[in-house]
């Protein structure tokens, strides 16, 4: 159930009162991604300063979202980092980077590290993310066949292609993350082939018609596509290059093969712990597991969802950030309820912008559709009565109207606004989202909506000692500044 602003303010008062309740607790965080860093900032923003925090992560804290920019050569590796020693010191966090948790023991409130050491906790946050699935075919483990998910994977690919201006890359799997990385490779002018087992690309993001438009676009950009077929085996030539053998009899030559066939939440270390898991760790709307002092969030968690009564895993950055903030505030003694995450995929495919939101594949929804394949434009709005509960939008990346419309559709859905007569207006005028957005008061709702009941602090991490380059204007504070 959603909270009123009054209840949220009350929750924020309770967050403040947590300063007394949580004296000298020890909070352990497993992970170093956006869930972990946002949670520790919330604990510090709202909790008793005496709370001890230990963070354990096998990788340096970084944003996976920035990896494509590093791959494309737009930023150096360091710009992917989201925390360093100085940051942890400033936040008074004991960071154990490069270490792994092997087991969680809720019965005696301890975690066991891979080195055998045991740490006790009062509160625990599991923020272990997910791992790419291995390619289960002959040759799937050859050198030069790799996933593309982490800092190490990105470095391996950059090393493997160093000195080769136009490497031949075969990407197996045409999903959201694979295509984010494909875009970076396209920018570099690499020779790209995509193999997708399903009938069309982006099967978990677009319907058949929209995906068809993307396929035409990709083909015109020179990307070779093989859909509706899978890989039988990968063979290595004497010079180290590969031959990818497909089920339909085709063979593709490659310098590098990228396996992008999906991910799985990192849950193995919970076996036998009693922490309830389904597709991910099952959490309530306070991010608590079935053990109230153990929290989970992000890619490894199966949490509440807007426009659904079922918990789902939403492995996307905005969900990870929200989960981390809510978990941290509640660990610090608050009482914050999360309304649920909105599935959103916004993706630039070689300069064709794609977006899908919410229940974009709902067969029971009423659909308004505009399709102009020759102009590479597609819009489908899916309605449950007068509420927009799903959407698919395609348009050129340099079409500013498309980009702002996508943002407004997201706002309409996030605020769960009912559009009343503006639904019919959008049926007639699907390119005039702005009028419905303004008339229904969505901007006002968004500016007053907060996740934790009070304004956010600026993020505490700065790369090195870098300071913001300029002062943000008051308008920036209102419309762009982050909010709790
Ligand atoms: C290349 C790429 C691009 C992306 N782009 C986008 C995008 O544009 N938009 C979007 O919404 N999402 C994007 N994502 C997805 C987004 O990055 C994830 O949803 C997000 O990182 C999840 O955050 P998290 O904190 O749950 O997990 P992670 O960021 O994966 O962090 C979890 C950390 O915990 C560590 N860990 C796991 N197990 C243990 C253990 N037992 N002990 C210690 N440490 C452990 C992991 O190694 C990892 O460092 C992208 C992902 C990738 C790979």
**Ligand 1 contacts CB of residue 15 (under 6 A):** no
Q: Out of 261, 285, 307, pick the residue that ends a domain.
A: 261
CATH code for the domain in which residue 22 is found: 3.50.50.60
359 inside domain: yes
Can you name the residues that pair with 120 across neighbouring β-strands? 110
457 inside domain: no
**429 vs 478, which has greater pLDDT?**
429
**In ligand 1, which atom is closest to the CA atom of 36?**
25
Q: Which of 130, 148, 150 is nearest to 265 (CA)?
A: 130
- Judge if 55 and 156 occupy the same domain: no
CB of 205 closer than 8 Å to CB of 356: yes
Residue 469: the pLDDT is 64
Structural domain total, the chain: 3
Phi (first) and psi of residue 238, to 5 degrees:
-60, -30
Of the pLDDT bands very low, low, confident and very high (cuts 50, 70, 90), residue 473 is: confident
337 inside domain: no
306 inside domain: yes
pLDDT digits (tens, 9 = 90+) for 179-236: 999 999 999 999 999 999 999 999 999 999 999 999 999 999 999 999 999 999 999 9
Name the token pair of 445: 């709702």
- Judge if 86 and 197 occupy the same domain: no
pLDDT digits (tens, 9 = 90+) for 226-285: 999 999 999 999 999 999 999 999 999 999 999 999 999 999 999 999 999 999 999 999
Q: Out of 242, 261, 280, pick the residue that ends a domain.
A: 261
- Judge if 127 and 9 occupy the same domain: yes
Q: How far is the CA of 477 from the centre of ligand 1 (A)?
A: 28
Range 39-44 average pLDDT: 96
Q: Out of 261, 291, 314, pick the residue that ends a domain.
A: 261
Give CA–CA dist 270/382, Å, rounded.
39
**107 vs 12, which has greater pLDDT?**
107
**Ligand 1 contacts CB of residue 175 (under 6 A):** no
CB of 295 closer than 8 Å to CB of 125: yes
Q: What's the angle, vertex CA 85, arms to CA 79 and CA 91, rounded to 5?
A: 105
Give CA–CA dist 382/216, Å, rounded.
24
- Judge if 49 and 24 occupy the same domain: yes
Q: How far is the CA of 259 from the centre of ligand 1 (A)?
A: 17
**Ligand 1 contacts CB of residue 317 (under 6 A):** yes
CATH code for the domain in which residue 379 is found: 3.30.390.30
Q: How many CB atoms lie within 10 A of CB 222?
A: 11
472 inside domain: no
Measured CA to CA in angstroms, residue 21 lies from 9, 46, 101 at distances of 19, 12, 28
**In ligand 1, which atom is closest to the CA atom of 61?**
49
- Best mutation site among 296, 320, 346 for ligand 1 pocket (most ligand atoms within 8 Å of CB): 320
**In ligand 1, which atom is closest to the CA atom of 102?**
41
pTM: 0.92
**Ligand 1 contacts CB of residue 322 (under 6 A):** no
- Judge if 69 and 180 occupy the same domain: no
- Judge if 296 and 257 occupy the same domain: no
- Best mutation site among 33, 113, 184, 315 for ligand 1 pocket (most ligand atoms within 8 Å of CB): 33
Q: Which of 480, 171, 158, 160 is nearest to 349 (CA)?
A: 171
Say whether pLDDT at 392 is over 50. Answer: yes
Mean pLDDT over the full length of the chain: 92
**Ligand 1 contacts CB of residue 344 (under 6 A):** no
- Judge if 196 and 216 occupy the same domain: yes
Q: How many CB atoms lie within 10 A of CB 433?
A: 27
**Ligand 1 contacts CB of residue 64 (under 6 A):** yes
154 inside domain: yes
Rg, Å, the chain Cα set: 23
- Judge if 118 and 156 occupy the same domain: no
Residue nearest to atom 42 of ligand 1 (CA): 100
**Ligand 1 contacts CB of residue 185 (under 6 A):** no
**Ligand 1 contacts CB of residue 70 (under 6 A):** no
Say whether pLDDT at 80 is over 80. Answer: yes
Give CA–CA dist 458/109, Å, rounded.
33
Measured CA to CA in angstroms, residue 233 lies from 101, 189, 244, 341 at distances of 35, 27, 6, 38
Q: Find tokens 């939101």 and name the residue.
A: 357
459 inside domain: no
- Judge if 359 and 326 occupy the same domain: no
Q: Find tokens 């559009």 and name the residue.
A: 419
Range 108-126 average pLDDT: 98
116 inside domain: yes
Range 414-443 average pLDDT: 96
- Judge if 181 and 250 occupy the same domain: yes
**Ligand 1 contacts CB of residue 301 (under 6 A):** no
- Judge if 153 and 121 occupy the same domain: no
**In ligand 1, which atom is closest to the CA atom of 154?**
1
- Judge if 293 and 441 occupy the same domain: no
CB of 218 closer than 8 Å to CB of 201: yes
Domain of residue 362 covers 351-448
């Amino acid at each position: 159930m959603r909270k009123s602003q009054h209840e949220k303010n009350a929750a924020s008062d309770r967050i403040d009162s947590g300063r007394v309740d949580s004296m000298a607790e020890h909070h352990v965080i497993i992970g170093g991604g956006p869930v972990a860093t946002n949670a520790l900032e919330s604990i510090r923003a709202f909790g008793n300063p005496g709370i001890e925090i230990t963070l354990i992560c096998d990788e340096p804290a970084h944003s996976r979202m920035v990896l494509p920019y590093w791959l494309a050569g737009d930023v150096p590796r360091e710009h992917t980092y989201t925390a360093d020693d100085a940051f942890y010191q400033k936040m008074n966090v004991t960071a154990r980077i490069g270490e792994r948790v092997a087991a969680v023991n809720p019965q005696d409130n301890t975690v066991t590290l891979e080195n055998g050491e045991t740490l006790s906790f009062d509160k625990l946050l599991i923020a272990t993310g997910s791992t790419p699935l291995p390619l289960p075919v002959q040759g799937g483990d050859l050198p030069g066949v790799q996933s593309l998910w982490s800092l190490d994977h990105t470095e391996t690919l950059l090393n493997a292609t160093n000195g080769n201006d136009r490497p031949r890359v075969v990407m197996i799997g045409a999903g959201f993350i694979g295509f984010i990385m494909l875009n970076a490779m396209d920018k570099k002018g690499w020779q790209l082939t995509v193999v997708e087992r399903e009938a069309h690309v982006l099967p978990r993001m677009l319907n058949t018609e929209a995906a068809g438009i993307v396929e035409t676009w990709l083909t015109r950009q020179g990307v070779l596509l093989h859909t509706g077929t899978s890989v039988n085996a990968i063979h290595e030539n004497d010079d180290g290059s590969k031959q990818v053998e497909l089920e339909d009899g085709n063979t593709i030559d490659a310098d590098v093969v990228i396996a992008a066939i999906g991910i799985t939440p990192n849950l193995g270390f919970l076996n036998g712990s009693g922490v309830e898991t389904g597709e991910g760790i099952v959490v309530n709307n306070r991010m608590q597991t079935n053990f109230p002092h153990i929290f989970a969030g992000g890619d490894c968690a199966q949490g509440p969802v807007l426009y659904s009564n079922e918990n789902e895993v939403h492995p996307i950055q905005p969900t990870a950030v929200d989960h981390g903030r809510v978990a941290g505030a509640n660990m610090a003694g608050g009482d914050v309820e999360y309304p649920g995450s909105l599935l959103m995929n916004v993706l630039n495919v070689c300069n064709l912008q794609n977006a899908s939101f919410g229940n974009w594949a709902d067969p029971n929804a009423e659909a308004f559709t505009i399709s102009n394949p020759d102009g590479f434009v597609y819009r489908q709005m899916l309605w449950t009565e007068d509420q927009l509960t799903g959407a698919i939008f395609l348009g050129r990346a340099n079409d500013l109207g498309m980009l702002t419309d996508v943002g407004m559709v997201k706002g309409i859905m996030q605020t769960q606004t009912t559009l009343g007569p503006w639904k019919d207006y959008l049926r007639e005028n699907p390119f005039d989202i702005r009028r419905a957005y303004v008339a229904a008061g969505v901007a006002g709702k968004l500016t007053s909506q907060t996740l934790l009941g009070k304004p956010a602090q600026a993020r505490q991490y700065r790369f090195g000692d870098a300071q913001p380059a300029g002062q943000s204007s008051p308008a920036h504070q209102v419309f762009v500044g982050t909010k709790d």
